Amino acid sequence: MDKYQLKINHLYSENLNIYGDLGNITALKYRSQVRGIKVEVVHTELNDEVIEEADIYFIGGGQDNDQMQVFRHLIRHRDFIKKEVEIGKVFVLICGGYQLFGKYFLDAEGNLIDGLHILDIETRAPGPEVKSRCIGNIIVEMSDDFVKYWNVDINFSRYIVGFENHGGQTKLRSTKMKPIGRVIVGFGNNYFDRLEGCYYKNIIGTYCHGPLLPKNPHLADAIISKALGISKIKHLPDDYESEAHKYILNRYKIKT
């Protein structure tokens, strides 16, 4: 596949990088290069005047203060981001990055933080009915629609495994915002719906840290394929990745 090239822009890696999110870039780069795909990884940080164009844009999660700094930078580039979304570029958004692409975040003090209004989702601080943060291992059974749209190889697994740690309660507010799947273990978007993340056009938003992609190579490959505009890429053995993925499933007695 040496005729293919892939450019990945890791947005705000200095601020949004908790819970191993950097490993997602490592996984995308490795899984591309081992197939002979030429990969360039660039970074956009808070002091940069422009967001460099890429095939895949990745944003991780971070602390509230870091998210506010990022948002002040990101909002200045909303038109560029919207254009990239509309022409089909791939966006992978983890936790805080996922929230920032929504309509707003309402914090515990009642402050309304306006979002990019790209995803029709709303996030609020937990109310009194939420007894604790959404934290711990998460296992999601992917929906048929998600599998079909992203062409995920379910011969590897029908599940996505990860780790979540968030207080924010996210609701999908439009039928255009489709969940990644059903939560088997953990919480997902909020305490009540048993749904995790969402996808819209070529955006994937999720609360899965861990990092997400090394333990879910079938999802990583789907993202690479979508960014390249091809339906299939060369199969990899994935022995270690499978072991890591199945360890979580076995821990909760879930069979692939």
Active site (catalytic) residues: 95, 209
Number of Cβ within a 10 Å radius of residue 108: 10
Q: Is residue 198 within 8 Å of 213, Cβ to Cβ? A: no
Least Cα distance to 216 among 175, 150, 156, 174 occurs for: 156
Using CB atoms within 10 Å of the CB of residue 235, give its burial: 0 to 12 exposed, 13 to 18 middle, 19+ buried.
exposed
Q: Is residue 226 within 8 Å of 35, Cβ to Cβ? A: no
Enumerate residues 6+ apart whose C-beta is below 8 A from 155: none
Q: Is residue 86 within 8 Å of 110, Cβ to Cβ? A: no
> What is the spatial distance between Cα 26 and Cα 41, in angstroms, rounded to a whole number?
10
Do strands 56-59 and 90-94 pair parallel, antiparallel, or not at all (unpaired)? Answer: parallel
Number of H helices and E strands in the chain, helices first, is: 7, 14
> What is the spatial distance between Cα 61 and Cα 18, in angstroms, rounded to a whole number?
6
> What is the spatial distance between Cα 181 and Cα 55, in angstroms, rounded to a whole number?
25
Eight-class DSSP state of 132 = S
